[in-house]
Amino acid sequence: MYFINTIVAALAFAATTFAAPTENLMPRQGYVSTCTATYTVVSGDTCLGIVNKQGNTFTLDQFYSWNPEVSSSCSNLFPGEVVCVGVAAAPTGCAAPTQPGIAANCKSCYTVVSGDTCLSITQPRGVSLGDFYAWNPSVNSACSNLQPGYNYCVGV
């Protein structure tokens, strides 16, 4: 019996000594300076869940770009932390929603629909892929992250 009591006491000591803090967590506050809307993380939140809670008004990629201290696996998001869920609109000729970094001098915009590709957007307009990527830096080189409903620059 003494052996069992010793093990229980050692486990109790380890649990109180090495446990992660559950109170006095400070908000991360590590979001971009253009942040205009924040959200306080609650237990059970995930990064995608926060995007969904905000009505999918921004993408998961935008969430990560606005909150650079949140890991891309979302494994370091904790209750009580404050994260950015909106930024000041970029001054462009395109109506919202747009992706971050869109060319400020954009004069012609296109709203993406499901099934669009970079080529299906650029070719009919006589726009080179190089220009399209330069005017829309959030678009990845595989053009696999176009967001239906978002406006992209197709002319400056």
Q: For the segment 63-113, what is each residue's pLDDT rounded down to a tens digit?
A: 988 888 888 899 888 899 999 898 876 555 788 888 888 888 888 999 999
The pTM score is 0.45
Residue 140: strand, helix, or coil? coil
Per-residue pLDDT, 57: 80
Q: Per-residue pLDDT for 35 more than 60? A: yes
Per-residue model confidence as pLDDT tens digits over 128-148: 999 999 999 999 999 999 999
Q: List Cβ<8 Å contacts ≥24 apart for 134-140.
A: 134/103, 135/102, 135/103, 135/106, 136/99, 136/101, 136/102, 136/103, 137/100, 137/101, 137/102, 138/61, 138/62, 138/65, 138/99, 138/100, 138/101, 138/102, 139/99
